[in-house]
Amino acid sequence: MHILRKLLIGLAGLALLAGSGVSFRTSRTLLEPVVAGDGVTTVKKLSDYFRGIEGSINDCNVYILEGKEPGGTMVLMGGTHPEEPAGRLAAWIVAENGRMEQGRLILVLSANRSASTVTRLGGAYPPDFDISTTFGSRTFRLGDRWSNPLDQWPDPEVYIHSPSGQHLAYVDIRNLNRCWPGRPDGMLTEKTCYALMELIRQEEADLVIDLHEAELQYPVISTIVAHEKGQELAVLVSMMLTDMEGFKMGMEFSPPNLHGLSHREIGDHSDAVSLLFEAPEPFLDATRGRTTREQLLTGKDEFVVRAGKAGLLFETIDEHGWPIDVRVGRHTSAVLQTMETWSEMQPDRALRCSGVPRYAEVIGRGIGSFLKDPATADPKRMWFE
Amino acid sequence: MTMQPFVTFLYYLLTACTSLLLMANFLKAKEWQRELLYVIVLVPFVLRLLMLK
């Protein structure tokens, strides 16, 4: 009787192990297709810029859109924090639809690919989500803010940022937006930042934009965070977006003594102007209700609304929530507006892009309208994230 | 060359040792509540050893 009971409990444990193991493995190995638009002229790997990242999970694809006319160079990064999916999706839409008329656009859709293969530990987050399209749906990994511990483990007691020596939270040694400018002999996330810095330096980028989302209880929201080299540009972009496109976009200075962040370190360690865009994502709020795919995509949450009524938020929210189309549209418009304003300020390094929908069009048609069908796409134009 | 791969190896070794201890305790346990507890605690350790979570 005793042995039979032990056997049954052991088998139940094995079933639990198998079920959860298959689920985690499926999520980690899910391939996300990218149907590169005609505007994508070259696809490289991040390791082309720094061999130290070759063969690692963070050796991501680098999509280059070369314009017909020479001009400036912009690097657009999605997936620094994959659990902020509007940034990744906005970059995805550019990869599948964008075409540079002048200048060069370099796209990274999974800046921290490792972080896209795990969800927040203990957070009961959904592993992925679907975007509805005319041909069915496309599935994307949700991901996390930090690199997967399977790829970088253990964490130190205290994370000492290089080269500043600033002490940061231990877990942030796996946070891509706390590891800039990176170290060639550091841990995976630091090496990834170093590789991205090499990309920026070797491609002589003029502008770098890092796309993010933020919880409504976080003060840095619905805004552009700008390195001092890009303050004038950011102010003009903020004014134009707020005035012309009907959504509020603020502008903030990158604090000089807060290290490891892209808006600070890229500007300090390269010739590029670095900007970081934030859109609102109630899914990340600590006061949210159930953490579901629906909540992620609709941005609706009665508890976050209640927090707003109690004056606890830095962004407004009502029963309409913050749908993913709105959040992605904010990003695409902000990127396009940045190119336009930059081109007015630097006509000899101009950037002109076509084919990418702006805020109103993304909301009107839905982001699914701008994703292509991998089943009917030319396999030579497909890559996987 | 950093110490990181060596430290990671040590952590996996610790995880394997802890897993073995949990399995031994599971086999020695007399009450079903303890057996269940050891099995539940063991799952994340094995998932990490198998590089699944």
Among positive and negative, which fits the CA dihedral A271, A41, A100, A60?
Answer: negative
Query: For residues A254 and A268, what is the distance between their CA atoms, to the nearest angstrom?
Result: 11
What does the H/E/C string look like for chain A? CHHHHHHHHHHHHHHHHHHHHHHHHHHHHCCCEEECCCCCCEEEEHHHCCHHHCCCCCCCEEEEEECCEEEEEEEEECCCCCCCHHHHHHHHHHHHHCEEEEEEEEEECCCCCHHHHCCCCCCCCCCEEEEEECCEEEEEECCCCCCCCCCCCCCCCCEECCCCCCEECHHHHHCHHHCCCCCCCCCHHHHHHHHHHHHHHHCCCCEEEEEEEECCCCCCCCEEEECHHHHHHHHHHHHHHHHHHCCCCEEEECCCCCCCCHHHHHHHHCCCEEEEEEEECHHHCCCCCCCCHHHHHHCCCHHHHHHHHCCCCCCCCCCCCCCHHHHHHHHHHHHHHHHHHHHHHCHHHCCEEECCCCHHHHHHHCHHHHCCCCCCCCHHHEEEC
Per-residue confidence at A2, pLDDT binned at 50, 70, 90?
Answer: confident
Please determine, for residue B43, whether its predicted confidence score (pLDDT) is greater than 90. Answer: yes
Asked whether A195 and A51 are in contact (CB, 8 A), the reply is: no
Residues contacting residue A93 through CB under 8 Å, at least 6 positions apart: A328, A332, A356, A357, A362, A367, A370, A371
Q: From chain B, pick out residues whose CB is under 8 angstroms from the CB of A118.
A: 53
Under an 8 A CB cutoff, do B53 and A186 touch?
no
Name the minimum distance, in Å, from the CA of A227 to any CA of chain B. 32
Per residue in A320-372, pLDDT (tens digit) is 999 999 999 999 999 999 999 999 999 999 999 999 999 999 999 999 999 99
Name the minimum distance, in Å, from the CA of B22 to any CA of chain A. 12
For A20, the closest of B4, B26, B43 (CB atoms) is B43
Half-sphere exposure of B31 (CA within 13 A, CB side): 3
For A11, name the nearest residue in chain B, comparing CA atoms only: B39
For residue A36, give the nearest of A105, A84, A111 by alpha carbon: A105
For A5, the closest of B8, B32, B43 (CB atoms) is B32
Query: Other CB atoms closer than 10 Å to residue A293's CB: what's the count?
Result: 15
Per-residue confidence at B30, pLDDT binned at 50, 70, 90?
Answer: very high
Instruction: Mutation target for A interface from B2, B4, B26: give the one with most A CBs within 10 A.
Output: B4
A350 and B CB contact within 8 Å? no
Using a 10 angstrom Cβ sphere, with 0-12 exposed, 13-18 middle and 19 or more buried, the burial of residue B12 is middle
For A187, the closest of B4, B52, B53 (CB atoms) is B4
pLDDT of residue B2: 74
Query: For residues A337 and A241, what is the distance between their CA atoms, to the nearest angstrom?
Result: 7
Average pLDDT, chain B: 94
Under an 8 A CB cutoff, do A9 and B39 touch?
yes
Query: What interface predicted TM-score (ipTM) does this complex get?
Result: 0.93
Using a 10 angstrom Cβ sphere, with 0-12 exposed, 13-18 middle and 19 or more buried, the burial of residue A261 is buried
Per residue in A193-245, pLDDT (tens digit) is 999 999 999 999 999 999 999 999 999 999 999 999 999 999 999 999 999 99
Per-residue confidence at A125, pLDDT binned at 50, 70, 90?
Answer: very high
Per-residue confidence at A304, pLDDT binned at 50, 70, 90?
Answer: very high
Confidence (pTM): 0.95
Q: From chain B, pick out residues whose CB is under 8 angstroms from the CB of A147.
A: none
Instruction: Mutation target for B interface from A2, A5, A9: give the one with most B CBs within 10 A.
Output: A9
For B28, name the nearest residue in chain A, comparing CA atoms only: A6
